[in-house]
Amino acid sequence: MGDTINSISHHWILGIVAFLFILFIARAVIRMALKMAFIAAIIGVIMVVCIGLTPGQVIDKGKSAFMSSSDLYHETLEPLIKSEIDQADYSEKPNGDYTIKAEDLKIQGNPEKKEVIINFKGKMYTFSTDDISKKIKDKITSMNK
């Protein structure tokens, strides 16, 4: 780092070129961010005016579009699974694969693998076992015994 600063200070033309390059990149990033903000604002106004959503609902829809799978699990599926897992039936295959079935819930996995497949109300989700809460892991382990 010191060599770079030393080179730029001794070769002022190189310093000007580096400054212009950084300025060009910063300008491009700012323009892109402004374009994205304007597009999001136009879409938000259309949703409020034409569809009749409130600004709060528009913000919530924007947040949900960027929700990661672990956020989806913790905010949506986990409370529903906790309510249904107590009435679930457990079955295990000889290779170690297990299936937990309830009315609207089906959890499939293997204790040696790092992912679990959750079918809930006809939709399939695959999650890392790191995302699953301790209560649900303990329930699966207790069913496993």
Residue pLDDT, tens place only, 39-50: 988 988 888 888
List the chain domain ranges: 2-65, 69-144
List the structure tokens of 129: 């076992």
Residues 111 and 96: their CA atoms lie apart, in Å, by: 7
Residue pLDDT, tens place only, 125-139: 777 777 665 656 666
Please tell me what DSSP assigns to residue 120. E
Residue pLDDT, tens place only, 50-94: 888 888 888 877 776 665 555 666 666 677 677 776 777 778 888
Q: Is domain 69-144 classified as CATH 3.30.457?
A: yes
Residues 37 and 40: their CA atoms lie apart, in Å, by: 5
Label residue 30 by pLDDT band (50, 70, 90): very high
Higher-confidence residue of 30 and 127: namely 30
